[in-house]
């Protein structure tokens, strides 16, 4: 591939049942681009967790995915409440998800740890009352 | 092992999909989505009691062979629609998650 490819999605914060649509779409596109199953799996997990977090914790946001020769880069940006203590939030098992959200199967406190684990680079910018932007890179080898 | 054989021996009910020629190789049991997301490998069965659309999203993203719903659960209407749209195989069993796993284990061993 010589030219980079970009995808943009608006992630709806109201609709829990369609949550994950952007990730599903990206997965399809990466398949069409012929990326390896391992890379697609890593991107799918990392992006799905980030997308879901924007839906359940930040009332939606945007997802931008860029594919070049070396990396799939995923940028998830929201204007939600921000994450007060990112070190705490990154810990396995930590979750502020409410009961109605937990009843859907969310709230294991594994989303951010999964994002860290399945991306090769991850950067979190967050400010209380302003929002959160998470950038993840998955290496294409 | 073939899903058609498992369906037979565990007396599973097919809720969605075509199980002809589908093989599986391993099982994950659990209900938390972000746990399942990282533990359900491609070609696995996922045994759960969750029935909402997010289950179908995770099943699709993880390329699991099939979802098995325990304790006679069926999919919520919008989840069934999502399963149909995304060709996700879903079966159900009257057994508990534990009993389903034990039975799969036994069936796998008998087939070795
Ligand atoms: N985009 C976000 N905006 C605001 N808070 C967030 C955001 N993402 C995560 N958080 C906070 O970080 C916590 C941990 O997130 P993580 O994804 O690890 O777990 P969870 O979403 O609560 O549960 P799970 O992902 O296992 O379903 C969340 O409970 C929430 O408090
Ligand atoms: Mg999460």
Residue A1 predicted with pLDDT over 60:
no
Classify domain A5-139 by CATH architecture: 2-Layer Sandwich (3.30)
Residue A135 pLDDT class (50, 70, 90 cuts): very high
Q: What is the pLDDT of residue A132?
A: 98
Please say whether the beta carbons of A89 and A130 come within 8 A.
no
Phi-psi category of A65—alpha, beta or left, where left has phi over 0 and alpha has psi -120 to 50?
Answer: beta
A54 alpha carbon to ligand 1 midpoint, in Å? 8
Average pLDDT over residues B91-97: 98
Can you tell me the ipTM of this complex?
Answer: 0.91
Using a CB cutoff of 5 Å, list residues around ligand 2, an ion: A 53, 111
Q: Give whole-number Cα distances, A84 to A93, A130, B47, in Å.
A: 16, 11, 35
Q: What span, in angstroms and rounded, lies between the C-alpha atoms of A28 and A16?
A: 21
- Quick one: which atom of ligand 1 is closest to the CA of A53? 8
CB atoms < 10 A from the CB of B108, how many? 15
Minimum Cα–Cα distance from A111: chain B residue: B34
Please say whether the beta carbons of B97 and B47 come within 8 A.
yes
Q: In order of start, what are the domains of chain B with their CATH numbers?
A: 3-110 (3.40.1390.20)
Q: What span, in angstroms and rounded, lies between the C-alpha atoms of A17 and B79?
A: 8
Q: Model-level pTM?
A: 0.95
Residue A2 predicted with pLDDT over 70:
no
Average pLDDT over residues A54-62: 97
* Cβ-based contacts of A45 with chain B (< 8 Å): 37-38, 61-62
Residue A14 predicted with pLDDT over 90:
no
Q: What span, in angstroms and rounded, lies between the C-alpha atoms of A8 and B72?
A: 40
What residues are in contact with ligand 1 under a 6 Å CB criterion? A 49, 53-54, 57-58, 78, 80-81, 83, 89, 94-97, 106-113, 132; B 33-34
Q: Which tops the pLDDT comparison, B78 or A141? A: B78
Percentage of chain B with pLDDT > 90?
97
What is the domain partition of chain A in residue ranges? 5-139
- pLDDT tens, B19-73? 999 999 999 999 999 999 999 999 999 999 999 999 999 999 999 999 999 999 9
Average pLDDT over residues A115-135: 98
B62 alpha carbon to ligand 2 midpoint, in Å? 16
């Amino acid at each position: 591939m010589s030219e980079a490819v970009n995808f943009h999605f608006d992630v709806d914060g109201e609709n829990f049942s369609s949550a994950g649509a952007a990730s599903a779409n990206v997965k399809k596109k990466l398949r069409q681009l012929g990326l390896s199953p391992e890379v697609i799996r890593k991107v799918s997990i990392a992006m799905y967790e980030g997308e879901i977090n924007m839906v359940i914790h930040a009332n939606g946001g945007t997802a931008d995915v860029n594919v070049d020769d070396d990396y799939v880069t995923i940028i998830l940006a929201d204007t939600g409440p921000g994450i007060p203590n990112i070190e705490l939030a990154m810990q396995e098992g930590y979750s502020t998800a409410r009961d109605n959200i937990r009843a859907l199967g969310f709230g294991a406190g594994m989303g951010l740890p999964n994002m860290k684990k399945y991306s090769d680079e991850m950067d979190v910018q967050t400010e209380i009352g302003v929002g959160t932007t998470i950038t993840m890179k998955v290496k294409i080898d | 092992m073939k899903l058609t054989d498992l369906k037979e021996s565990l007396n599973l009910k097919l809720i969605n999909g075509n199980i002809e020629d589908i093989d599986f190789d391993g099982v994950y049991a659990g209900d938390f989505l972000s746990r399942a997301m990282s533990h359900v490998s491609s070609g696995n069965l996922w045994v759960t009691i969750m029935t909402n659309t997010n289950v179908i999203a995770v099943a699709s993203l993880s390329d699991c062979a099939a979802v098995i719903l325990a304790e006679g659960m069926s999919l919520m209407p919008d989840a069934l629609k999502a399963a149909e749209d995304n060709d996700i195989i879903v079966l159900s069993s009257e057994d508990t998650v534990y009993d389903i796993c034990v039975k799969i284990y036994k069936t796998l061993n008998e087939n070795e």
